[in-house]
Structure 1
Amino acid sequence: MGLLRLRYLVANVRSFSKLNSSRKYESNVPKGHLAVYVGQIQKRRFVVPISFLDQPLFQDLLRHSEEELGFDHPMGGLTISCHEDAFVELTARLPCS
């Protein structure tokens, strides 16, 4: 019983540490926006309006990334696997509301 509790506590500490290390970017994300990491090899961080989540083009991009990467994102945030230029071009066509 004690060993299981220890494993549980260690897992929680690791999760908490990961959460705290990713919080350094929270202050850089304005209310109503979210940070995404874009790129195939080198990931670049973009801050986009949450309203993009309602857009079919952006949803398609997220579905494609989910199929390719799954839900395990090594950057600790939402990762989109596409070329930066394609992402910028796509998001430029989306309305910011």
Structure 2
Amino acid sequence: MGFRFPSMIRRASSSKAMTMPKGYVAVYVGEKLKRFVIPISYLNQPLFQDLLCKAEEEFGYDHPMGGLTIPCTEDVFQNITCGLNGL
């Protein structure tokens, strides 16, 4: 289902403006709201759906960064997305 790139999750640099690759979405994670660029295919995965439900409960549809904010630690987020890389 779709193309796989060697680096499925990219941590975006806060000091450089990045263009969003087609098929990816930016999310903000952790206390410092670090920006990660992930494949949109993750949004349909059950583990990621749980994170989206938590985001909805905490923020509703008003995300402080203007993008999708995920209310979990960076470690938890990276563990979940690492598991999704193998799918």
TM-score, shorter chain, exceeding 0.5:
yes
Q: State the identity as a percent.
A: 60
RMSD across aligned C-alpha pairs, in angstroms?
A: 1.9
Question: In the TM superposition, what are the counterparts of 1:63-82 in structure 2 within 5 Å?
Answer: 63-82=53-72
Question: In the TM superposition, what are the counterparts of 1:25-64 in structure 2 within 5 Å?
Answer: 27=19, 29-39=20-30, 41-64=31-54
Q: How many residues align?
A: 72
**Structure-2-length-normalised TM-score:** 0.74
Structure 1 outlier segments of 4+, above 2 Å:
none
**Structure-1-length-normalised TM-score:** 0.67
The structure richer in strand per residue is: 2
2:69 is paired with a residue of what secondary structure? Answer: strand
Residue 25 of structure 1: how far off its partner (Å): 5.0
Unaligned runs of 5+ in 1: 1-23
Unaligned runs of 5+ in 2: 1-15
